[in-house]
Amino acid sequence: MFGKILIANRGEIACRVIRTARKLGVRTVAVYSDADAKALHVEMADEAVHIGPSPVGESYLRGDKIVAAALATGAEAIHPGYGFLSENPDFVDQVTAAGLVFIGPSAASIRAMGLKDAAKRLMETAGVPVVPGYHGEAQEIVLLASKAREIGYPVLIKARAGGGGKGMRRVDHPDDFSEALSGARREAKAAFGDDRVLVEKYVDKPRHIEVQVFGDNFGNAVHLYERDCSAQRRHQKVIEEAPAPGMTPALRKAMTEAAVKAAKAINYSGAGTIEFIVDASQGLKADRFWFMEMNTRLQVEHPVTEMVTGVDLVEWQLRVASGEKLPKTQGDIALAGHAFEARLYAEDAAKGFLPATGTLHHLKFPDAATEGAAMRIETGVRAGDAISPFYDPMIAKLVVHGKDRATALGALREALARTEVAGSTVNTAFLAALAADADFAAGDVDTGLIGRHQEALTAIPAPGDKTIAAAALAATDAGAPGPVADPWSTLSGYAHFHALARRIRLHYREENILARVSARPDGRFQVALEAPHDAVNTHDLRTMPHAVRWPGHVTVFEGAVGYTFTVPDPLAKADEAGAASGSLRAPMPGLVKLVRAAAGDAVIKGQPLLILEAMKMEHMIAAPHDGVIAEIATEGAQVSDGTVLVRFADTEGS
């Protein structure tokens, strides 16, 4: 076993690797960028090395700096985690050329599976079924459009490099092919440095089912059963589970055998995942699945496999990379119970899952799972940490295990209801709504489920009067334990003729709310709300929803929903720039990738104006209303959250 390893990653996965290394007595070296100087993975590791500025291209993608850090600290091996350089064969060559061990597959194996088109040709040769489509080298638009017509619409354009839904477009009509191809190419180029694509038949009711495989350097390869990752938004996974609901013995046998065959075809060593697309339109059948791609690394969702098999996959990675054989044979690996993983993101589900930023002023996870279930929280952040625009906005993974699917799903719902995040927009309520969805609960899930139910899944009911009262109380620090943050806001004190009261103004979305909070002699409070709300008597603060106060805001938690109210500073100057509807602002930090209009253009509501690239994904910015453009952002401009992208001409009196 290694004495010391370097982890070429950050956040949750770096912390995950550190925990297993510590269990095995292996010392760890973390690397970090400027933005991560005080990150949790830096604190947890035995040593840490600074590798550059915050942008990934200047830090976590600098293989030369990472190898130099490993050599300087005496590390014997490098664990890549997932993302960043984990599937870069050139980085593997750098590592091995420096006399270090790469904790993962060989560069040859990564190259064999790194490009989707070449991988599918290889799998066809190995006898593994592949999705009907065009996987060739030629990339002329005329040829690709012709192949799409041959395949039959709808088709899916996919970047041949990378994953995570980037560089992927569904096309339903030939007239839309050119536009979709351009968008897929731009996104693929930005994310992977490769704008080449493949075109495949779009399966009408697709299930995304993947098989965890593991190989060693002695020719052995096993599977650790399957995971279902069909619950996706924008081609990115949201909730994963193991085993797949509705899985039949015949399909499991066919898929796992195909997965092991695929791994052996490239002499695979380490943890890997064979991803299949399954046509579920007529149930799960052994002849209706096709190879999609192989991820030659540890997956984000690997904990669900660990929960149902009892195997520590990171430990296996370290053992195999250090020269040991697989710890178990296929017959020793049993499947027990059911597990779910929910990805908690800083994102606005109601706005098309736009990534969000912010400081996590309040962060609280459940202490334990419900009775009869097990739980683990995988995270790389703490309260007070910031979600920056530089990296993936995942906050944590909530992983639960139960004796069966119903027990595990109940534990997941309860865990989400007891998770509290304030300081950034998060998807907790969306995850809870998905976990409660009737089709999802029944196991009737496919990759289109979220899209079909998106409006209902992302809808947040307006806060009730009791919620508003809790926010008003929190804004005054009424009933707060310990010292009051603002002594001038306290309601405690003496009043001879009448109860002490304080007038509170709150903002919730577009609504201005006025409340009068009164302290009663017996220690209780009364909150009087202006119409259309009613007075709320808070006889016992313990019955009120839990609320937390953070700079300029109050967040009230009701189950998985967090209602955030703005508490205006009466001394602050009004923001004149945002008062009018004459401008369109950036919803997040990003790069203005493409501009489709110019100053002086008359535009109509919904017309695309520009494309903003943020976190390697493209977001279309459209006109919010009819008007004439006075100014528009410059193509290639880097903008921050709230930057004016478009200013409309004042048409009053015209």
For helices 116-126 and 107-114, what crossing angle results, to 10°? Answer: 100
8 Å CB contact between 69 and 33: no
For residues 521 and 475, give the distance between their C-alpha atoms in angstroms, rounded to a whole number. Answer: 20
Instruction: Give start and end residues of each alpha helix (H) in 465-616.
Output: 465-475
Q: How many CB atoms lie within 10 A of CB 336?
A: 11
DSSP assignment, residue 42?
A: H
Return the structure tokens found at 552. 């300029």
Phi, psi at 293, each rounded to 5°: -170, 170
Residue closest to 299 by CA, chosen among 249, 242, 218 = 242
Question: CA angle, corner 330, sides to 327 and 334, nearest 5?
Answer: 95
How close are the terminal C-alpha atoms of the chain, in Å? 78
Map residue 553 onto helix, strand or coil. Answer: strand
Residue closest to 108 by CA, chosen among 96, 125, 126 = 96
**16, 207, 297, 319: which one is catalytic?**
297
For residues 344 and 342, give the distance between their C-alpha atoms in angstroms, rounded to a whole number. Answer: 6
E strands, 234-279, where?
236-242, 270-279
E strands, 131-196, where?
133-134, 155-159, 168-171
Which are the contacts of 541, defined by CB distance < 8 A and separation ≥ 6? 473, 478, 479, 525
Phi, psi at 278, each rounded to 5°: -120, 130
For residues 627 and 629, give the distance between their C-alpha atoms in angstroms, rounded to a whole number. Answer: 7
Going by DSSP bridges, is the β-strand pair 4-7/27-33 parallel, antiparallel, or unpaired?
Answer: parallel
Q: Which sign does the torsion angle of CA 242, 244, 246, 247 carry? A: negative
Quickly count helices (H) and strands (E) in the chain: 16, 38
Map residue 409 onto helix, strand or coil. Answer: helix
CA atoms within 13 A on the CB side of 537: 2
Beta bridge pairs of residue 375: 400
DSSP letters for 464-491: PHHHHHHHHHHHTTTT-SSS-S-GGG--
Q: Does the annotation count 297 as an active-site position?
A: yes
Query: CA dihedral defined by 436, 439, 442, 444, rounded to 10 degrees?
Result: -140
Map residue 640 onto helix, strand or coil. Answer: coil
For residues 587 and 645, give the distance between their C-alpha atoms in angstroms, rounded to a whole number. Answer: 10
Catalytic residues: 297
